[in-house]
Chains A and B, each alone.
Chain A
Amino acid sequence: MFLTELFRRKSVARAVKRHRVSSDVVQNVELPGHGVVEVRCRVSCEGEGCPKPQLLTLKALNECPVGAVVEVITDNLSAVETIPSMMEIYEGQHLGTIRNDTHWRLYVRREP
């Protein structure tokens, strides 16, 4: 029982670390047509293949407060195409996509 608990805590710690705020992160971002928005939740899935970015985005939307802006960081081109379309299906809103040299940042939220 102790060992399984130890492994569970290590697994949670790794998971938390995976989604920890990185040093170059901002909390507010300016999006065309929406002005400055505050990012409330973040999903980092650089290097992840399909369908992980899409599924993790849905998971984050379900677990973050309604109306809170979720930032999805990905370098998966299919996910960059699919996530905005997902918002149309899931009563969400795609606020915008910003591209850096190495990855894309998509901003989405669940509509109240």
Chain B
Amino acid sequence: MSSNVAETMNGIRERSMLAHRGGYTAIGISALVTLLSVMLLMMDTRWVYLLVYVWFGVAYGIFLQYGRFCMASAVRDLFAVKVPRMAVGVMIATALFSITAGLVTVSGYSTFHPHPLGWHIIIGGLIFGFGMVFTGGCASGSLYKSGEGNIASMLVLVSISFSQALFADLGSWSNSLAPSSWAASAAEKGMPEELSVTDGWFDLFTTGYVWDLSGGTVADALATGNTWLDVFVGNALLGAILPTIVILAVLYLTTYRKGYMRRSKLEAPTFADEMRGFWGMLTASKNTALAGLGLGVFAGLQMWATGALREHYNIFNFGELLQKMGYTEGMSIQQTVFDPGYWYITTQEAQLGGWILDLLGRDMMDNVFFGLENGIPNPLINAPLLMSVGIILGAAVLALMRREFKWKVPNMETATFALVGGALMGIGARLGMGCNVGAFFAAVTNGDLSGWIFLAGMTLGGLVGVKAFNMWLERKTAGDVFDI
């Protein structure tokens, strides 16, 4: 037997979460973030706008780590091993966030903008879903796993950042890959010359294709004149909750029901038995379900908090506040920065990649993505990026307290998958206008049905990815011996 003490899962829970080295480190991290927050507020109370992002990020990180919440698992575990645990957790979070987002919308504080609807969403989802199977985590999953010390997940973050930045700043060589209709449409937009919108595939894609599309929410389509009806019946019920219930029912019937009836020894189940089985599936993993509830509530709270702060400071974008505070570097030509006001992941990672490339001498502002829309502010004042840092720190704090933090150095295969898969995730995210959080979670919960299309693409890409991964694993482990 190993010299390490072996404990059951119950034994671990009975031990103190703080009175050990990891706990002390967790306290240290929490104290440091708190101290820095207080110092910033003492310097200028307007930093509260940025700190809201940070602290909501910490909350997300805690919930993600607590529930092992990863949308890549939702797809991957479903197809690879038919376990619906994570898919159920995602649906719970989606249903709840649709209600909290609805409350924020009717209060007038919503910061959400629907995505344009087009083929790019499903294609982006497909590429993203395929990549995330090989990286072992989605965009948010890679963040929280980085907080657990997983170096492969950190490689994913690096890869996603640079792949997006380079993809958004593709050069003239890529022009021939775009249809000529895109170039003609882009030229008609009358954009400033410094953005060179007719140069580079992604600029042509954005200005010559995406900008010609339209999007909207279910509430916009209903337009009964009664905001509460439009938002809660349209966005929440029709746009999110009903599809969620249908998906949960399909998950129950195709994966969970057979095992439940067998364990319960029910040969002729009644409707009540089926409902008990369905409830059993929803609560099979309590921490995942609780994490879903927490994420749904906090995601809505963040929208409310940011909306309220914008009203308080009379701004529509953080860039305005930064300028008033004396920070002007890195803004877009519209004097804006990326400031979604809700949980988002990939764009701020692209900004980090772009900032580093800009520092290394590459002009990253001669395109629409950075130059017109998002800017490349200094990472230390990039609010959404610090939210992602918050996610990593929140996950690290909880992992340290639970003795689950461990530096995991990947082997060559895992590292290669992380880099290549991460690059695919980055490309897919830019094509689909977001990731599992920005293009799916935030979208469907605010009545934007393009989110379900992204999920469909992500699911299909995940299915193909699982098949490919399985083939690879079969080939590698052929001849493996498991007997002792």
- The chain A residues found within 8 Å of chain B, CB to CB, are 8, 11-12, 15-16, 18-19, 21, 24-27, 32, 39-43, 47-52, 54-56, 58-60, 63-64, 70, 75, 77-78, 81-82, 85-86, 88-91, 96-102, 105
Contacts and interface: CB of A to CB of B under 8 A. Distances in A.
A89 B480 contact: no
A90 to B, nearest CB: 8
A51 B4 contact: no
B284 A99 contact: no
A58 B81 contact: yes
A52 B413 CA distance: 12
Interface string B57-90: 0000000000010101100110011110110000
A82 B133 CA distance: 16
A42 B256 CA distance: 27
A89 B3 CA distance: 35
Nearest to A68: B483
B410 to A, nearest CB: 7
B83 A85 contact: yes
A98 B482 contact: no
Which of the listed residues B68, B135, B284, B409 has the most CB atoms from chain A within 10 Å of its own CB?
Answer: B68
Given A59-B477, A88-B259, A91-B259, A81 B285 contact: yes
Interface stretch (B6-14, B194-202, B240-248): B6-14
Contacts of B258: 89
Main secondary structure of the interface of A (DSSP, over half): mixed
B1 interface: yes
A85 B80 contact: no
Nearest to A16: B481
A89 B6 contact: no
B265 to A, nearest CB: 13
Interface stretch (B29-37, B293-301, B465-473): B465-473
Interface string B248-292: 000000011011101100000000000000000000110110000
Contacts of A75: 406, 408
Contact of A89 (B82, B414, B417): B82
A51 B80 contact: yes
25 contacts: A12-B479, A15-B479, A24-B2, A32-B8, A48-B414, A49-B135, A49-B150, A49-B410, A50-B73, A50-B137, A51-B133, A52-B473, A54-B80, A55-B80, A55-B81, A59-B480, A63-B482, A78-B73, A81-B287, A85-B83, A88-B284, A90-B81, A98-B7, A99-B9, A100-B4
Interface residues on chain B, size class: 35 or more
A77 B68 contact: yes
Interface of B: 1-9, 11-12, 68, 70, 72-73, 76-77, 80-83, 85-86, 133, 135-137, 148, 150, 152, 255-256, 258-260, 262-263, 284-285, 287-288, 403-404, 406, 408-411, 414, 417, 466, 469-470, 473, 476-484
A63 B480 CA distance: 10
A77 B469 CA distance: 20
A5 B484 CA distance: 26
A44 B86 CA distance: 24
A98 B2 CA distance: 12
Given A16-B479, A55-B469, A89-B83, 19 more contacts: A15-B477, A19-B482, A26-B1, A42-B482, A49-B417, A50-B77, A55-B81, A56-B477, A78-B68, A81-B285, A82-B86, A86-B83, A88-B259, A88-B263, A89-B82, A89-B255, A90-B81, A91-B262, A102-B406
Nearest to A43: B482
A14 B137 CA distance: 27
A64 B482 contact: yes
A40 B81 contact: no
Contacts of A40: 483-484
Nearest to B12: A99
B150 to A, nearest CB: 8
A27 B80 CA distance: 29
Query: What 5 A-B pairs come out closest when comparing CB atoms?
Result: A49-B136, A12-B479, A60-B482, A41-B482, A24-B2
B83 A82 contact: yes
A96 B72 CA distance: 26
B77 A54 contact: yes
A111 to B, nearest CB: 9
A82 B6 contact: no
A75 B150 CA distance: 11
B476 to A, nearest CB: 8
Contacts of A96: 8
B414 A49 contact: yes
A41 B484 contact: yes
A84 to B, nearest CB: 9
Contact of B410 (A47, A50, A90): A47
Contact of B284 (A56, A85, A98): A85
Nearest to B409: A47
A97 B8 contact: yes
A24 B479 contact: no
Contacts of B86: 82
A11 B484 contact: no
Given A18-B480, A99-B7, A55 B470 contact: yes
B7 A51 contact: no
A81 B288 contact: yes
Contacts of A101: 4-5, 403
Contacts of A26: 1
B77 A82 contact: yes
A71 to B, nearest CB: 8
